[in-house]
């Protein structure tokens, strides 16, 4: 066999091997999780936890001396998103996706996460996002106040150490 024919056959063999290995690698790849937008639309518009909204789900009973007309009827939400709340994982995914590009939305989502999951292992990271968003919004006094709260709530975490180093150790004004 001539030298050019050997080179061509070798190149074809390498390409064929690459195709087979690529197909094998793609076949064993785990499925990619759905993005927050397609999986959980509520993460884009987080609900505000309002005591009146919680009471709206509880049927009101008339007082013993009240007439039936005195009962206040509240409309309950209906539809696909009724009562749906973003999960801890979806809030974290959305905060990671934002990566400081939208500080007002990051602040809103992080505050909601801290309020809903204060004892979670992810709570220090949620609080870190609150402080980081306040700094990005140039609300330095609020960021320092929130950082002090974080130091008290979550001492000894890497997230708290980062905030102490970058927010509390230097003046931000």
Task: Provide the percentage of residues in the chain whose pLDDT is more than 90.
Answer: 31
pLDDT at 137: 92
Rg, C-alpha atoms of the chain: 27
C-beta contacts of 110-115 below 8 A and 24+ residues apart: 112/46, 112/48, 112/49, 112/86, 113/88, 115/49
Question: For the segment 123-158, what is each residue's pLDDT rounded down to a tens digit?
Answer: 999 999 999 999 999 998 999 999 999 999 999 999
Residue 46 has pLDDT above 50, yes or no: no
Q: Which comes out higher in pLDDT, residue 22 or 44?
A: 22
pLDDT tens per residue, range 57-82? 444 444 444 444 444 444 444 445 44
| The CATH number fitting domain 31-48+85-168, selected from 1.25.40.10, 3.40.50.620, 3.20.80.10, 3.50.50.60 | 1.25.40.10
Specify the 3-state DSSP secondary structure of 88.
helix
- Give CA separation, 91 vs 30, 39, 79, 113, 170, in Å: 22, 12, 22, 7, 30
């Amino acid at each position: 066999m001539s030298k050019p024919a050997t080179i061509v056959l070798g190149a074809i063999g390498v390409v064929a091997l690459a195709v087979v290995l690529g197909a094998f690698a793609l076949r064993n790849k785990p499925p990619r999780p759905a993005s927050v937008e397609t999986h959980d639309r509520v993460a884009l518009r987080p609900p505000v936890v309002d005591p009146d909204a919680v009471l709206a789900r509880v049927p009101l009973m008339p007082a013993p001396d009240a007439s039936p007309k005195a009962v206040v009827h509240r409309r309950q939400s209906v539809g696909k998103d009724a009562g749906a709340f973003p999960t801890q994982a979806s809030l974290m995914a959305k905060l990671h996706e934002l990566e400081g590009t939208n500080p007002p939305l990051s602040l809103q989502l992080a505050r909601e996460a801290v309020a809903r999951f204060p004892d979670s292992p992810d709570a220090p990271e949620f609080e870190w996002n609150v402080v980081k968003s306040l700094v990005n919004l140039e609300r330095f006094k609020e960021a320092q106040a929130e950082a002090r709260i974080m130091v008290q709530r979550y001492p000894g975490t890497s997230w708290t150490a980062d905030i102490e180093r970058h927010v509390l150790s230097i003046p931000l004004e």
